[in-house]
């Protein structure tokens, strides 16, 4: 959960673990792509409450976890005190040639300065080290965000593209930035991953947990009104057989430090 350029820390780590554990559950697939070996030194960038770092540690990896949310890091340390967890920003990791791999799940879409993040990741890796990441790709959760923006405008609240809280690139946009940072891109994929949101309040919970930055200038009543209208309008699109499904689209990349 990295959020460069933000000042306050809005993350509720307990709620995150209760309602959104799917984020790290999907990350298990990415660990397969990482193919960690015993004894490797690996950085989990955007470790959240630490579940994937714990999995890596259980597999014999010498893991460190960083996140720019101090709430997330406090929760991770409480759950797994044996693991090194630190508050750091993706654009300024402060490591030099320390890691065999940098691993990042569901984080880099929060970082709107991708060049700085890639340069910092590159610096952190040993020569021949690998960067393995998955995050939101072009079109990610677009049905939801377009509806929320539409409702903001209906309420007379302006929303310009630079207020959009996320960076969702295509692989055509991201791979050249990786090359510019010095990586050899050996894998890149962009795919749909429809994601079930638990329960009748699943969409509301998702918007409240992840979409908070879209409501920075909005009072609580207006925000609730917008979410209720968005739920009503999206029911015919994202609700089926008693469950909400968010239109997640992911990109996955692997880069090697040459
Ligand atoms: C994502 O994992 O794709 C995501 C999560 C929260 C907000 C936006 C995107």
For 91-148, the pLDDT digits (tens) are 999 999 999 999 999 999 999 999 999 999 999 999 999 999 999 999 999 999 999 9
* 110 close to ligand 1 (CB < 6 Angstrom): no
Q: Give the CATH number of domain 13-141+166-198+248-257.
A: 3.40.50.150
138 to 1, 11, 30, 195: CA distances (angstroms): 19, 24, 19, 16
Domain boundaries, the chain: 13-141+166-198+248-257
pLDDT of residue 20: 67
Closest by alpha carbon to 178, among 166, 189, 186?
A: 186
d(CA 112, CA 152): 22
Which numbered atom of ligand 1 lies nearest the CA of 206?
6
Contact 65, 84 (CB under 8 A): yes
d(CA 237, CA 194): 12
172-188 pLDDT tens trace: 999 999 999 999 999 99
The helix (H) or strand (E) run that includes residue 186 is strand 183-192
Contact 89, 2 (CB under 8 A): yes
What are the E-state strand segments in 6-57? 41-45
pLDDT of residue 13: 80
d(CA 102, CA 124): 8
205-240 pLDDT tens trace: 999 988 888 998 899 999 999 999 999 999 999 999
Per-residue pLDDT for 7 more than 70?
no
3-state secondary structure of 135: strand
The residue whose CA is least distant from atom 8 of ligand 1 is 210
Mean pLDDT of the chain: 93
| Tokens representing residue 130 in the block | 């690998």
* 140 close to ligand 1 (CB < 6 Angstrom): yes
């Amino acid at each position: 959960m990295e959020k460069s350029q933000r000042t306050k820390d809005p993350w509720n780590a307990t709620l995150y673990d209760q309602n959104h554990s799917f984020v790290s559950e999907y990350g298990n697939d990415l660990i397969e792509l990482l193919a960690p070996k015993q004894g490797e030194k690996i950085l989990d960038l955007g470790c959240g409450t630490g579940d994937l770092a714990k999995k890596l540690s259980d597999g014999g990896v010498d893991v460190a976890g960083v996140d720019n949310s101090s709430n997330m890091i406090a929760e991770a340390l409480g759950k797994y005190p044996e693991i090194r967890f630190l508050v750091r920003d993706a654009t300024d990791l402060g490591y030099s040639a320390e890691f065999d791999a940098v691993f990042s799940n569901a984080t880099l879409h929060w970082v709107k300065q991708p060049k700085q993040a890639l340069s910092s990741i590159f610096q952190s890796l040993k020569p021949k080290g690998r960067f393995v990441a998955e995050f939101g790709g072009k079109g990610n959760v677009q049905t939801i965000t377009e509806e929320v923006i539409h409702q903001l405008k209906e309420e007379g609240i302006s929303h310009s593209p630079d207020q959009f809280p996320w960076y969702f690139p295509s692989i055509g946009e991201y791979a050249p930035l990786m090359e510019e940072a010095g990586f050899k891109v050996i894998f890149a994929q962009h795919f749909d991953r429809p994601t079930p949101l638990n329960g009748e309040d699943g969409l509301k919970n998702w918007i409240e947990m992840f979409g908070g930055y879209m409501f920075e200038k909005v009072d609580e009543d207006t925000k609730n009104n917008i979410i209720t209208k968005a739920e009503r309008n999206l029911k015919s699109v994202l609700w089926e057989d008693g469950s909400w499904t968010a239109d997640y689209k992911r990109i996955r990349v692997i880069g090697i430090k040459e």
